[in-house]
A = this chain, B = another copy of it.
Amino acid sequence: MSGFTPLDPLLHSQLRLAVMSLLIGVESAEFTFIKEKTQATAGNLSVQLDKLSKAKYIEVTKAFKGKKPVTTCKITKVGVAAFETYVNALKGYIE
């Protein structure tokens, strides 16, 4: 039906999509875990997490585990909704 619904550019990015895909399945995840799973470089991941965070798609909290800094990410309700919308739009492209 409806032609081609625009795809949320924030989600239509390989790394950000992988991050969201990962986060949607867990309570929360640490930076290093996400980095490993997505095979991203730290710099790239840092930038993309920032974008998702600024869009309120995820919540990022910084803390210390012993003496080591730990960055933890959690998908928000807004993020879940955006992801679902994106997936539905995408289905219009790939049947």
User: What distance in Å separates the Cβ of A69 from its nearest Cβ neighbour in chain B?
Assistant: 25
Partner of A14, one of B7, B39, B87: B7
Instruction: Say yes or no: is A12 at the interface (Cβ < 8 Å to chain B).
Output: yes
Partner of A21, one of B18, B87, B93: B93
Q: Give 4 nearest A-B pairs by CB, closest first.
A: A4-B18, A21-B93, A87-B94, A17-B93
Q: Copy number in this complex? A: 2
User: What distance in Å separates the Cβ of A44 from its nearest Cβ neighbour in chain B?
Assistant: 13
Q: Which residue of B lies closest to A39 (CB)?
A: B3
Residues of B within 8 A of A94 (CB): 17, 21, 87, 90
Q: Given A12-B14, A90-B90, A90-B94, A37–B3 Cβ distance below 8 Å?
A: yes
